[in-house]
């Protein structure tokens, strides 16, 4: 995103009450899908029918894409590579308020994702490891190429684990879950939900995102929205502020960040999907995947809640369940 666009979007960095509409299905169904053990496996990364209770995604081999390798504290080839160069190169976002964003007063990148990056760095590089992280800000559609090319050791950037991505990169176990949801202006919203109100309206989403995948699927494409595709999800907030988009489709977690930045917009309806976020790494770096999963075991128990309370508690408003907790890890070996 251009610096000018970020300045427009970041002009109001205040907390806002995030609006939600009536849930689909029974309250019990919704709560069961959003919380409790194994919640990360409850919904697919791409819904198939607007408004329907989504079913779990399964990959071609019948597995859940959120299944990862069992944790290990061993140092293999990838871990030793990072230790030898004495730095951890991580692809992050600098535009997602609360998750990975550049604080205009300090110039440093902060947020929920960044807290996890620092925990991983301390484990790999020792007590001062958090100071030896090289942050590389990358747009949504460059996350996978950056990993495959070796430009980064990993990506920690609200990246949804799904079947198509799992074939390209390796993922840790899930550390958060969200879902695709609508962000609209609070006043005079022209889009009311994933329904006929979308027809002919300009609906914004990021290139390479799961929102794009969902909106291009047959059932959602049939709603007749006019796509506005941008490099980063925060660009959609700017487009709405300028009157160039009627609504944004993005992860509920990121939508809550947009509403916190700009109190003139709000989340509406219910999430259409489950988006389990994972740390993405190169397929060849299995020892690094296991090491990150080892870090996540401790992080879930001792650090996740404090990071959540610092960054997200005031603005999430139940998008991740009534009792915020990290998803239970799933393993395939």
What tens digit of pLDDT does each residue of 86-140 get? 999 999 999 899 999 999 999 999 999 999 999 999 999 999 999 999 999 999 8
**d(C-alpha 185, C-alpha 268), whole Å:** 10
- For 24, the token pair is 């689909």
pTM (2 d.p.): 0.80
Largest Cα span, the chain: 56
CA distances 123 to 147, 278, 285, 327, Å, are 20, 18, 16, 21
Closest CA to 57 of 170, 155, 163: 163
Task: For residue 121, give the H/E element and its range.
Answer: helix 112-125
SS3 sequence of 271-313: CCCCEEECCEECCCCHHHHHHHHHHHHHHHHHCHHHHHHHHCC
Rounded-to-integer distance, Cα 257 and Cα 87, Å: 30
First-to-last alpha carbon distance for the chain, in angstroms, is 40
- 232 neighbors 258 (Cβ within 8 angstroms): no
Treating both helix axes as pointing N-terminal to C-terminal, what angle do 77-85 and 112-125 enclose, rounded to 10 degrees?
Answer: 90
**Spans in the chain with pLDDT lower than 70:** 1-48, 54-56, 317-322
Give the integer Cα–Cα distance in Å for 264 and 159: 26
DSSP string covering 9-24: HTT-----PPP--PPS
Q: Are 178 and 254 in contact (CB under 8 A)?
A: yes
User: Would you call 197 helix, strand, or coil by DSSP?
Assistant: helix
Strands (E), 191-287: 202-206, 226-230, 247-251, 265-268, 275-277, 280-281
Element (H, E) at 3: helix 3-9
Opening angle at CA 11, ends 7 and 15, nearest 5: 130
Cα-based distances in Å from 254 to 18, 50, 100, 111, 264: 12, 20, 10, 12, 16
Distance CA 154, CA 140 (A): 14
Give CA–CA dist 125/222, Å, rounded.
50
- C-alpha of 3 from chain center: 22
Distance in angstroms (rounded) separating the CA atoms of residues 241 and 94: 19
Q: From the CB of residue 127, how many other CB atoms can be counted at a distance below 10 Å? A: 7
């Amino acid at each position: 995103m251009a610096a000018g666009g970020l300045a427009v979007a970041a002009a109001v960095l205040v907390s806002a009450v995030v609006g939600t509409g009536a849930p689909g299905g029974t309250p019990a169904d919704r709560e069961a899908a959003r919380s409790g053990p194994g919640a990360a496996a409850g919904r697919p990364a791409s819904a198939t029918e607007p408004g329907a209770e989504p079913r779990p995604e399964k990959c071609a081999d019948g597995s859940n894409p959120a299944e990862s390798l069992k944790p290990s504290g061993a140092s293999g080839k990838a871990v030793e590579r990072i230790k030898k160069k004495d730095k951890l190169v991580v692809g992050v976002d600098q535009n997602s308020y609360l998750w990975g964003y550049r604080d205009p007063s300090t110039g440093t990148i902060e947020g929920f994702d960044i807290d996890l990056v620092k925990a991983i760095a301390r484990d790999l590089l020792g007590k001062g490891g958090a100071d030896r992280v090289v942050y590389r800000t990358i747009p949504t559609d460059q996350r996978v190429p950056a990993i495959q090319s070796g430009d980064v050791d990993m990506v920690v950037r609200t990246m949804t684990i799904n079947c198509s991505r799992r074939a390209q990169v390796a993922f840790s176990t899930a550390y958060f879950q969200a879902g695709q949801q609508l962000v609209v202006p609070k006043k005079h919203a022209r889009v009311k939900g994933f329904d006929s109100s979308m027809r002919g309206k300009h609906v914004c989403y990021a290139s390479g995102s799961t929102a794009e995948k969902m909106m291009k699927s047959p059932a959602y494409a049939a709603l007749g929205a006019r796509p506005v595709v941008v490099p980063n999800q925060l660009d959609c907030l700017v487009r709405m502020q300028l009157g160039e988009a009627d609504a944004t489709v993005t992860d509920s977690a990121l939508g809550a960040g947009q509403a916190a930045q700009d109190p003139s917009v709000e989340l509406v309806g219910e999430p259409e999907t489950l988006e389990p976020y994972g740390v993405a790494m190169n397929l060849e770096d299995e020892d690094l995947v296991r090491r990150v999963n080892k870090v996540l075991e401790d992080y879930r128990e001792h650090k996740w809640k404090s990071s959540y309370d610092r960054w997200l508690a005031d603005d999430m408003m139940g998008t991740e369940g009534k009792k915020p907790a990290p998803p239970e890890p799933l393993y395939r070996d």
